[in-house]
Chains A and B, each alone.
Chain A
Amino acid sequence: MSATERQTDSRSSGRSGWRVRWCGDAALVVECDADLDPRVNARAVEIARQVRLARVEGVRDVVPTHSAVTVYLDPVAGDAEVLSRRLLSWAESSAPAAEAQREITVGVRYGGPGGPDLEAVAAFAGCSIDEVVRRHAAGHYRVFMLGFLPGFAYMGVVDSRIAMPRRATPRLAVPARSVGIAGRQTGIYPSAAPGGWQLIGTADIAPFTLQAEPACIFRAGDLVRFEPRVVES
């Protein structure tokens, strides 16, 4: 996305598009009504960056999500009114995001034991398995946010044809590195966990390694592409 496009988008989200509210008495949320909107999310990531840079007293944590930023505030030490005003001004700023978008390519072994739902996604899409793989690997995905598990990146936007909703009954154990689809989002399980995403393959990277620096491969705002890897027999 170019800087010019970014400027346009923040104007279109409008001065009244963002608002601040409490979430409990120890967190403020600046948010705007949006679904999976890369431009709105770019603004959220930029607000989060500004909050961290500003080193506001009493701020304990800053969590950007799809179309919101939650700022954890020590309710005793922090000044919520001042923070609230600053959050709105960062949200309404038309300045482009200062941070360049990183590009990360992830190899995926589609199907096989790591992709037990690939056939189901093909049935959902009414196309062949190869076509599901082609469409998933053709996407340029934005990391909208991390959450759920350490290092778990919510990426989008998945081609609507293969955007199969979550399973009705989640699996009790999804293996680490599984690549899944949940509606218009895709992601890689960093560790074995219960989960309801439709599993289509196995990634060749570990999104979270405790001993590594940094421990998490992805951060909000990254651009991710998937490359099919040939299954070794």
Chain B
Amino acid sequence: MRVRVIAPGPLTTVQDLGRWGHQAWGIPVSGAMDTWSHRVANHLVGNLPEAATLEVTLAGPKLEFSEDATIAVVGARFWLEIDGRTVPSGCTFSLSAGGRLSFGPRTAGARAYLAVAGGFELPMVFGSRSTDLASRFGGLDGRSLRAEDCLDVGDPHGGARPGKKLRPPFPLPRGGAVLRVLVRDDGGGRPELLFGPRFRLGPTSNRMGYRLSGPSVSPGRPASGLSAATPVGTIQVPPSGEPILLMADRQTTGGYRAPATVISADVGVAAQLAPGDWVEFKPCSYSSAHVALASREDALRLQAGGMA
């Protein structure tokens, strides 16, 4: 089966759970920004969690399916038009051969994940099908979709859940979100300056990171100039005092002060923020971070009935 791109949308990329195991060579992780929604979408169509989906950013594409297909759209909420019917996203749909899917207005969140039963079949690059826009590899030639691209779809495993609805275990942010962070205990910068003020996602925010405008955050004593590893959710403070929240396409290492890191349970929330949205940071303990993550995993598993 093939999916033909009639209109690509502003930024639609192939993503999976990321390119792990190669950061020691400077190769970024990439992958879905909101891995929860990506996993839920795959689950709904009977795919393994690591199957490739399309990450739709802010506005969606228009696609044509060459054969009967089962699809799911999860994450940011859109009105979808499927063969002339208008339906809300968030569950599975069936399309017949030649059927068309187009994304209409977005009502919440920033990124939606389109899974097709069978998953998008693209060559693995360093063990992943994720598109790394900065390195220009992975996905479809390392770039976002264009009109007239054709994507191959693998054979479905079966186990699709038609009509079933399943939501990521967190509410979609509307206009902004409070993100919980862990303060770095290595004296990097002045984390207290991050707590209290409301920041806004700058217009150049992208898959690499969000530039946060607001009160200037002094980086404290200058960084050593040596680089350290940069997990997703790292809040970097360059000398300009404008914090950057590092996201999926971040570089593997960075030399700026990094006073805090957004907890894993809230990275998916951050992924649903759009430029112009606000963000506030709130300190959190390691045990609460782990409890928050475990409870989200449990919530998802319960809903899904044994979801991987």
Residues of A near any B CB (own CB < 8 A): 21-27, 29, 31, 35-36, 48, 60-68, 70, 72, 75-76, 145-152, 154, 182-183, 190-191, 208, 210, 215-216, 219-220
Name the B residues within 8 Å of A63 (CB-CB): 23-24, 229, 252-253
B37 to chain A, nearest CB (A): 17
Of listed B125, B184, B226, B253, residue having the most chain A CB within 10 A: B226
Name the A residues within 8 Å of B184 (CB-CB): 21, 23
Given A62-B24, A216-B25, A72 and B231 contact (CB-CB distance below 8 Å): yes
A65 to B225 Cα, complex, angstroms: 12
Given A25-B290, A75-B293, A150 and B228 contact (CB-CB distance below 8 Å): no
Whether B293 pairs with A152 at a CB distance below 8 angstroms is no
Residue in B21, B26, B225, B226 whose CB lies within 8 Å of A146: B26
A-B residue pairs in contact (CB < 8 Å), sample of 27:
A24-B261, A24-B264, A25-B290, A25-B293, A27-B231, A35-B226, A48-B24, A61-B21, A61-B23, A65-B226, A70-B229, A75-B264, A75-B289, A75-B290, A75-B293, A145-B253, A146-B25, A147-B23, A147-B251, A148-B227, A148-B251, A148-B253, A149-B135, A150-B28, A183-B225, A191-B135, A219-B24
Name the A residues within 8 Å of B186 (CB-CB): 21, 31
Name the A residues within 8 Å of B182 (CB-CB): 22, 24-25
A48 to B127 Cα, complex, angstroms: 20
Q: Is B58 an interface residue (CB 8 A)?
A: no
B285 to chain A, nearest CB (A): 10
Whether B262 pairs with A24 at a CB distance below 8 angstroms is yes
Name the A residues within 8 Å of B293 (CB-CB): 25, 75-76
**Quick one: closest A residue to B19, CB to CB?**
A61
Q: Is B79 an interface residue (CB 8 A)?
A: no
A60 to B19 Cα, complex, angstroms: 10
Chain B contact-residue range equals: 35 or more
A147 to B26 Cα, complex, angstroms: 4
Q: Mark B263-290, 1 if CB is under 8 A from A, else 0.
A: 1100000000000000000000010011
SS class, residues of chain A in contact with chain B: loop
Whether B229 pairs with A36 at a CB distance below 8 angstroms is no
Whether A215 pairs with B228 at a CB distance below 8 angstroms is no
Residue in B23, B27, B135, B261 whose CB lies within 8 Å of A23: B261
A67 to chain B, nearest CB (A): 8
Q: Is B208 an interface residue (CB 8 A)?
A: no
Name the B residues within 8 Å of A215 (CB-CB): 25, 126
Q: Is B74 an interface residue (CB 8 A)?
A: no
Given A63-B229, A70-B229, A150 and B26 contact (CB-CB distance below 8 Å): yes
Residue in A21, A27, A66, A147 whose CB lies within 8 Å of B185: A21
Q: Mark B160-194, 1 if CB is under 8 A from A, else 0.
A: 00000000000000000000001011100000000
Name the B residues within 8 Å of A64 (CB-CB): 24
A66 to B227 Cα, complex, angstroms: 7
Residue in A29, A150, A182, A220 whose CB lies within 8 Å of B229: A29
Given A25-B293, A146-B26, A220-B24, A65 and B227 contact (CB-CB distance below 8 Å): yes
Name the B residues within 8 Å of A151 (CB-CB): 25-26
A187 to chain B, nearest CB (A): 11
Residue in A21, A26, A183 whose CB lies within 8 Å of B264: A26
**Quick one: closest A residue to B252, CB to CB?**
A147
**Extra 11 A-B pairs, beta carbons < 8 Å, given A24-B231, A24-B234, A208-B26:** A23-B184, A23-B231, A24-B264, A35-B226, A61-B23, A75-B264, A75-B293, A145-B253, A147-B26, A150-B26, A182-B225
